[in-house]
Structure 1
Amino acid sequence: MNDIETDLSHLARLALTENTQDVRLFVARLVRKYRNIEPELAEQMDLHLRAKTHSSQTSMRKVSSHPPMSDRTPPVDDESRLSLLKIFKGESSEDAPLLADDLAQTLERLMQERHQIERLTSLGLQPTRSAIFVGQPGLGKTITAQWLASQLNVPLYILDLTAVMSSLLGRSGSNLRAALDFAKSSPCVLLLDEIDAIAKRRNDESDIGELKRLVTIILQEVDEWPSTGLLLAATNNPELIDSALWRRFDLVIEFKAPDSAAVKMAIKRFFGSDYARFTRWLDILAFAFQGLSFSDIKRDIQRLRRSLALEAASDTELIEEFIKLRAPALDHQGRINLAVLLAKQTRLSQHNISSITGVSRDTIRKYISEKTPKTK
């Protein structure tokens, strides 16, 4: 059988087991597999995947014998009375975060382990219990944690560092243990965001003794975290984290800046119903957005959509304004490549292109006649 026949047979087998989560995971894998070779098929499967609300209960929920989340109150700091944990309740139908294929596959395997937790346990194995997310702000670390929790049908708790770090000497350690004990008491996803703030290297002489004790507490908790929950940490500054902590986490997952394909996917998603108006600008926008995070791309696109909704300008005028603001952030060669791309793919005059990119018309003419734009 060819690949499509084999995949169809495997999909039918999974569907007949009535195991919805396995079917969803496999369809997500097929979307990535066929995105380049059968784009129409991949897009159709992706539409079905997004339209189908996942309602089956996962193993994490099945093993729970604790009161529902609404009946449980997170601990608070005695001094400030602030809750030590922020609670997020996501919907299982939320879109998957925009991630590189290798990262998406890692998360898919993690989800598969959670769904097959009983099978792993019968073999004397445990699912992945902890992972640390590494990457600059805006690349999807927190959104990924929210999505994982929603897909597992469990709450997401985020440790609130401002509440944990009490002004009372010795209280921070007690707050941290109280928050962790609460999260361990029932199935959940716990995110220790900006973990470098409390898990710095213990040989850092600038830290007081209490912060060093917090590192010790976290080391112990990662080792003892129950398999019914998932412990996540996130950091923008991995070089600050105590080396012993790295060895404790089951997975280290790196979030990288989106590549060209991911940027185009983000543009299509963030424009939503307005995408048709900007389709012809896709390559231009993808080039201009290179090097930016998903959150930066979303912010700029929402600004364009607001202006369009208020009829403040045409799509062409909005793109010109955006390019004029974005061009100075590019290096010299990047501005030249952008100018040549505009000259080849739009009806803008070379005079106008020169005005919005800062590239002379002589340079634009030279590059158009000699070569095509370089890609980064």
Structure 2
Amino acid sequence: MSNENLGDTNDLTGDLAQSVRLGLLSGADGIRLFAAKLVRKYRRSAPELSQQIDGYLRAAPAASPMRKKQMDEARPDVAQPSDDLAVLRVDTVSARQPVLSSAVMAEIQQLLTERRQAQKLLSLGLEPVRSAIFVGPPGVGKTMTAKWIAQQLDLPLFALDLTAIMSSYLGRTGNNLRAVLDYAKSIPCVLLLDEIDAIAKRRADVSDVGELKRLVTVILQEIDAWPSTGLLLAATNHAELIDPALWRRFDLTLEFPRPERRQIVETLDTLLSSDRQHFERWLPILALLFDGGSFSDIDRTIRQFRKAVTLKTASAPDLVEDLARRHSAELDRSGRHQLAMHLVAHSRLSQHKINEITGVSRDTIRKFQKAEDGHGD
């Protein structure tokens, strides 16, 4: 290479480094992502450049709240750390407090308190919760809780679906995943790693075990090194598939169980609010119909009920009867009999209507009715 070409290369390197530095001083989130990518890209081929940009990145000031708000409004809904991997920016403006058990909510409130008073803890040599994993079946409120936590902390929420990554980008994910995590660490935010068991579930895949092991290593290292300025959340529907090494890395494990009957009744009472009088006599039936469901199922259905009653597009009896009919179609013979008995005991429905809803014969329903009348005597 001639001296002239060597000089051009040095100029190009210097210009690139200065461009990154000036961009970082502007406080733009996009340049942070670009800088993190350059650090990794040139770590081997141009180590001095890589170190220089890394130094600029670490020294760069965080965006002010006003500047951050302007950037958030200007940024599209999807931030793309690379051409291969997309991180969804989740809207938290409309996030509602999730309907959860008192035990889970108490732990979440503790997490929020620690995050809000992080500086006080740090001044005492203590760290707030930096990471947590949410465990539970679908529909119990894991994602809704992540959105609400981000809203309460006034932080942006980014979600990364590891299932989609594993199915689409296996073999070229490791570096991109690091870029995403670098980005999330560079700004105050909440990052949700959804379906984290996707990595564990596929560890036996002989087609690319090496790549999977590298991804697990990346996740383990990043959880350990997660800064106290941000919050790393993970969610799984399959706790039994999680690598034991992952469990130990998280500061907090939150289990989201399906609600018990008592919790269902309490939740219905809370959610029905001013419309409770419309559904008063149906509460025992609703509690039975929601048994085995989730808090989010209850929340979604009751909100639909309240809107229908408010707009007078359906009456409370019609809504409950339709829900009972759909529920009955999923039950076995014993379950339908139990539902029919509850309808006899707690509703004013005719034997014909109960037969129509449950499919239980009218003779059997009459026996239930006689037993109920005898019990009443």
Alignment TM-score, normalising by the size of structure 1:
0.71
Say whether 1:260 aligns with 2:264.
no
- Say whether the 8 Å CA contact 2:344–2:365 is kept in structure 1: no
Larger Cα Rg: Structure 1 or Structure 2? 2
- Say whether the 8 Å CA contact 1:183–1:190 is kept in structure 2: yes
Measure the CA separation in 2 of the matches of 1:146 and 1:169. Answer: 28
Could you tell which deviates more after superposition, 314-323 or 179-188? Answer: 314-323
Equivalent residue runs for 1:50-89 within 5 Å: 65-66=62-63, 68=68, 70-71=70-71, 76=80, 78-79=82-83, 84-89=86-91
Deviations 1:204-253 (A, max 9, x none): 64653212211110000000001111111000112222221111111111
- Say whether the 8 Å CA contact 1:164–1:176 is kept in structure 2: no
Measure the CA separation in 1 of the matches of 2:284 and 2:168. Answer: 52
Residue in 1 aligned with 2:187?
A: 186
Measure the CA separation in 1 of the matches of 2:63 and 2:248. Answer: 31
Residue in 1 aligned with 2:251?
A: 250
Residue in 2 aligned with 1:278?
A: 279
Residue in 1 aligned with 2:135?
A: 134
Equivalent residue runs for 1:196-211 within 5 Å: 196-200=197-201, 202=203, 205=206, 207-211=208-212
Deviations 1:143-188 (A, max 9, x none): 0001111111111111144775596775311110111111111211
Measure the CA separation in 2 of the matches of 1:153 and 1:168. Answer: 32
- Say whether the 8 Å CA contact 2:202–2:212 is kept in structure 1: no
Q: Tell me, what secondary structure is at the counterpart of 1:198?
A: helix
Report the AA paired with residue 244 of structure 2.
S
Measure the CA separation in 2 of the matches of 1:223 and 1:279. Answer: 51
Alignment TM-score, normalising by the size of structure 2:
0.70
Residues 220 and 285 of structure 1: CA distance in aligned 2, closer, same or farther (over 3 Å): same
Structure 1 residue 313: Cα displacement: 4.8
Residue in 2 aligned with 1:368?
A: 372
Equivalent residue runs for 1:40-51 within 5 Å: none
Deviations 1:100-145 (A, max 9, x none): 1111111111112112222211221111111111111100000000
RMSD: 3.1
Question: More helix by proportion, 1 or 2?
Answer: 2
Could you tell which deviates more after superposition, 327-336 or 119-128? Answer: 327-336
Measure the CA separation in 1 of the matches of 2:170 and 2:150. Answer: 34
Measure the CA separation in 2 of the matches of 1:356 and 1:166. Answer: 43
The size of the alignment, in residue pairs, is 306
Residue in 2 aligned with 1:100?
A: 101
Could you tell which deviates more after superposition, 344-353 or 281-290? Answer: 344-353
Measure the CA separation in 2 of the matches of 1:101 and 1:169. Answer: 40
- Say whether the 8 Å CA contact 1:267–1:297 is kept in structure 2: yes
Residue in 1 aligned with 2:176?
A: 175
Could you tell which deviates more after superposition, 68-77 or 153-162? Answer: 68-77
- Say whether the 8 Å CA contact 1:323–1:356 is kept in structure 2: yes
Structure 1 residue 368: Cα displacement: 2.0
Structure 1 residue 344: Cα displacement: 2.6
Residue in 2 aligned with 1:358?
A: 359
Measure the CA separation in 2 of the matches of 1:371 and 1:242. Answer: 54
Q: Tell me, what secondary structure is at the counterpart of 1:90?
A: coil
Measure the CA separation in 2 of the matches of 1:200 and 1:66. Answer: 38
Residues 204 and 167 of structure 1: CA distance in aligned 2, closer, same or farther (over 3 Å): closer
Residue in 1 aligned with 2:317?
A: 316
Q: Tell me, what secondary structure is at the counterpart of 2:173?
A: helix
Deviations 1:30-89 (A, max 9, x none): xxxxxxxxxxxxxxxxxxxxxxxxxxxxxxxxxx83351653767526445x6x211124
- Say whether the 8 Å CA contact 1:202–1:215 is kept in structure 2: no
Measure the CA separation in 2 of the matches of 1:246 and 1:277. Answer: 46
Measure the CA separation in 2 of the matches of 1:108 and 1:250. Answer: 15
Residue in 1 aligned with 2:347?
A: 346
Measure the CA separation in 1 of the matches of 2:169 and 2:106. Answer: 44
Measure the CA separation in 2 of the matches of 1:259 and 1:164. Answer: 35
Structure 1 residue 277: Cα displacement: 2.4
Could you tell which deviates more after superposition, 141-150 or 158-167? Answer: 158-167
Residues 166 and 327 of structure 1: CA distance in aligned 2, closer, same or farther (over 3 Å): closer
Q: Tell me, what secondary structure is at the counterpart of 1:71?
A: helix
Q: Tell me, what secondary structure is at the counterpart of 1:150?
A: helix
